Amino acid sequence: AIYDLAFSPDGKVLASASADDTCKLWRVADGERLDTLGQPLKEQYSIEFSPDGKFIVAAGADNRIRVWQFVSRERPRINPLIHARFAHETPIVRLAFSPDGSRLVSTAEDRTIKVWDTGDYTEIELREGEPELVTALTILPDNAAYLLGRLDGSWESRPLPAVPVRATEPAAA
């Protein structure tokens, strides 16, 4: 089974998240498989390209978010794994990038929502106790809020937290 599909920002590559514990990249022009991202340990339910097209992010039943550098744009190549984060206590259902690429939102079967700083994929915010499983997710074009849709048919808008300001190191003398 294929649980999710995503096009690269330029529309030339299609990514699939599947029940066979893999994500695959396909060249749209001719259907050639460019890579199989085989590091996941269980089914993958959600896959996204970063808005700048530099990364692929996927998550699923192994409760982890994985980030690959996207290098197989034209021909088959191995896309290196950059990050693997234990993200939720239960399977991750949905992922969505903010349009500016600075944040990633994840939802899980335990009715939690997390917001991640994509600079290093650290958690910015945790929301617990959703009234129902969140199965749909998108972020507004102005990066101000995310919309979530629940299994019971309800939906809600939530403010998207800002990325924390990082301390800068003084320049070496």
Residue 63: strand pairing partners: none
CA distance 96 to 138: 6
Contact status, residue 116 vs residue 69, Cβ threshold 8 Å: no
pTM (predicted TM-score): 0.91
Q: How many CB atoms lie within 10 A of CB 4?
A: 20
Which of the residue ranges 60-64, 131-135, 166-170 would you say has the lowest mean pLDDT?
166-170
- 105: Cα within 13 Å, side-chain hemisphere: 27
In angstroms, what is the C-alpha Rg of the chain?
16
Q: What is the pLDDT of residues 65-123, one digit of tens each?
A: 999 999 999 999 999 999 999 999 999 999 999 999 999 999 999 999 999 999 999 99
Q: Residue 14: phi, psi to the nearest 5?
A: -110, 130
